[in-house]
Amino acid sequence: MKRHKIISLLNTETAAIDILIKGWVRTRRDSTDFSFIEVNDGSCLKNIQIIAEKDLSNYDDIKKLSTGSAVAVRGDLVESKGGGQKWEVQARHIDTISIAPDSYPLQKKRHTDEYLRTIAHLRPRTNKYGAAFRIRSDLSFAIHKFYKDKGFKYIHTPVITGSDCEGAGELFRVTTIEPDKVERRDGKTDYSTDFFGKAANLTVSGQLSAEMFALALGDVYTFGPTFRAENSNTRRHAAEFWMLEPEIAFGDINDNMDLGEETIRHLTGYALKECKEDLGLFGNFVDKNLLNNLENISSSDFIRLPYEDAVDILQKSGVKFEYEISFGKDLQAEHENYLTEKHFKKPVILYNYPKNIKPFYMRVNDDDKTVAAMDILVPGIGELIGGSQREERLDVLESRMDECKLSKEDYWWYVDSRRFGTVPHSGFGLGFERLLMLVTGIKNIRDVIPFPRTPGSIDF
């Protein structure tokens, strides 16, 4: 017999006989002639109420159902006599699939996020984390739908690579050499005996591969896991995170800013419309201003200004920042927060960054001082998107690679793409977990990824 999902039963218009649900007991309350059992199956935030009359053959077993136990319930969907819910299930038979002991950690009381991180294998069973991970699922789907509707092709870029797109050296090595068998040649590790015959690592970005496909299939995007061995234990950095990376063929920096802004506005708007119930939980219990903030982000234009002007605003702000800011320095979280939360009170797109703080692939501007980079900063998060127009001119790219001390031999295929049919193109990376933090109001990146990977932490 087909299992019904609680979400579809609760949203139905008509009563139904002989339905089957399977899920986990949230609470059980007994009265003289029957038990009320609240069951959740993860399909939505709400539980469904089961009425188990005492004449059910295994009523003694049913009265053992504790929080966390698993059940299969056959019965009829009837209009609820009590308040609070439209439908309930009058049970004909309840199968006790498994009984959870009293040591089940998720009893009624509320737990801290910190504690729940220590039981990350159980936390999706709470209302809050169930809601967060349903939103994560919905927004992944929304990304694919949005880009497919725009005619972008989805490219699966490799997870294991030989390149370092961002040039920041935050790489996780991939090797099959036993640590005690590493051979050295000329003072360096000899990778010629390693699996790929070369140094390999987990990707920090799918961009360089995506660019090759943009120059063939037109507009493309990748959406997958990326890895960075950044040893920064902050609330917005993870060692493994998901990134959406669109690449616009024949697109310049303005097209890129347009697409980044449209993506964020669309996805926040999508969550407001399609994830109402789950989002309501976050609006009630995590951040009272959440829905208002999302409404504002989805409906109003973002500020756009050159990096240089942002530095000017920061210098004239009169604020004593921990890190001094001047042209040529990267913005710190405190600067980003000042711009989005105090000065403009909305998302800000900064563009034309100094070339010395940006990677080799960004297009050099005519001033030869700045590159056509753009970051989108949002309140509460800081940098959500980082991107640029790409350097499509062979000679300029080669001299930038020299400046950045990158080997043209190692990146021969990337350089090659500028020899044949090179065109202006641009793209960006959006940190998916940071988007989820924005949408849910959850303050720590560890709480929007199923099993977070951060320095010193690889449990689960």
Is residue 417 a contact residue for ligand 4AD (CB under 6 A)? no
Interface residue with ligand 4AD among 228, 358, 400, 425 (CB under 6 A) is 228
Among 291, 434, 440, 448, binds ligand 4AD (CB under 6 A): 434
Separation CA 52–CA 33 (nearest Å): 9
Residue with smaller CB distance to ligand 4AD, 49 or 426? 426
Q: Residue 78 and residue 99: Cα distance in Å, rounded? A: 27
Q: How many CB atoms lie within 10 A of CB 276?
A: 11
Residues whose CB is less than 8 angstroms from the CB of residue 45 and which lie 6 or more positions away in sequence, other chains included: 127, 130, 131, 134, 277, 278, 281
Q: Which does 429 bind (CB under 5 to 8 A by kind): Mg ion, ligand 4AD, none?
A: ligand 4AD
How far is residue 188 CA from its own chain's centroid? 37
Number of Cβ within a 10 Å radius of residue 7: 17
The shares of helix, strand and coil residues in the chain, as percent rounded to the nearest 5, are 35, 25, 40
Tell me the C-alpha distance between 153 and 107, whole Å.
Answer: 46
Measured from each CB, the residue nearest to Mg ion is 386
Q: Closest separation between CB of residue 383 and Mg ion, Å?
A: 6
Indicate the SS3 state at residue 412: helix
> 432: closest CA among 135, 96, 198, 83?
135
Q: x/- string (CB under 6 A) for ligand 4AD, residues 171-210? A: ----------------------------------x-x---
Q: How far is the CB of 290 from ligand 4AD (least distance, A)?
A: 19
Q: How far is CA 257 from CA 7, 223, 304, 350, 459, in A?
A: 38, 19, 9, 9, 38
Does 431 bind Mg ion (CB under 5 A)? Our answer is no
Instruction: Between 230 and 258, name the residue whose CB sits nearer to Mg ion.
Output: 230
What does 270 interact with, of Mg ion, ligand 4AD, none (CB < 5 to 8 A by kind)?
A: none
- Minimum distance of Mg ion from residue 219's CB (angstroms): 22
Q: Where are the alpha helices (DSSP H) in 286-393?
A: 290-299, 307-315, 333-337
Pick the closest to residue 21 from 63, 59, 76 (CA basis). 76
Which of the listed partners (ligand 4AD, Mg ion, none) does 428 bind, with a CB threshold of 5 to 8 Å by partner kind? ligand 4AD
**Whole-angstrom distance, CA of residue 243 vs CA of residue 231:** 19
Q: Which long-range contacts (CB under 8 A, 24 or more apart) does 18-22 make?
A: 18/74, 18/75, 18/76, 18/92, 19/74, 19/75, 19/76, 19/77, 19/89, 20/72, 20/73, 20/74, 21/48, 21/72, 21/73, 21/89, 22/70, 22/71, 22/72, 22/73, 22/97
The answer to whether 386 contacts Mg ion (rule: CB under 5 A) is yes
Residue 429 as a binder of ligand 4AD (CB under 6 A): the answer is: yes
Nearer to ligand 4AD, 68 or 386 (CB): 386
Q: How far is the CB of 336 from ligand 4AD (least distance, A)?
A: 11
Q: How near is the Cβ of 343 to ligand 4AD at its closest, in Å?
A: 20
Nearest approach, Cβ of 450 to ligand 4AD (angstroms)?
A: 15
Residue with smaller CB distance to Mg ion, 138 or 375: 375
* Residue numbers 158-197 binding Mg ion by CB under 5 A: none
Q: How far is the CB of 329 from ligand 4AD (least distance, A)?
A: 16
Question: Does 372 engage in binding with ligand 4AD (CB under 6 A)?
Answer: no
Give the CA diameter of the chain.
85
User: Residues 246, 449, 454, 198: is their CA dihedral positive or negative?
Assistant: negative
Q: Are strands 160-161 and 200-202 parallel, antiparallel or unpaired?
A: antiparallel
Pick from 76, 113, 230, 330 the residue near ligand 4AD by CB under 6 A: 230
**Binder among 52, 264, 385, 436 for ligand 4AD (CB under 6 A):** 385
Q: What is the nearest approach in angstroms of ligand 4AD to the Cβ of residue 297?
A: 15
Q: What minimum distance in Å lies between the beta carbon of 294 and Mg ion?
A: 23
Binding mask 234-253 for ligand 4AD (x = CB under 6 A): ---xx--x-x-x--------
What residues make contact with Mg ion under the rule CB under 5 A?
A: 386
What residues make contact with ligand 4AD under the rule CB under 6 A?
A: 165-166, 205, 207, 228, 230, 237-238, 241, 243, 245, 383-387, 427-429, 431, 433-434, 445
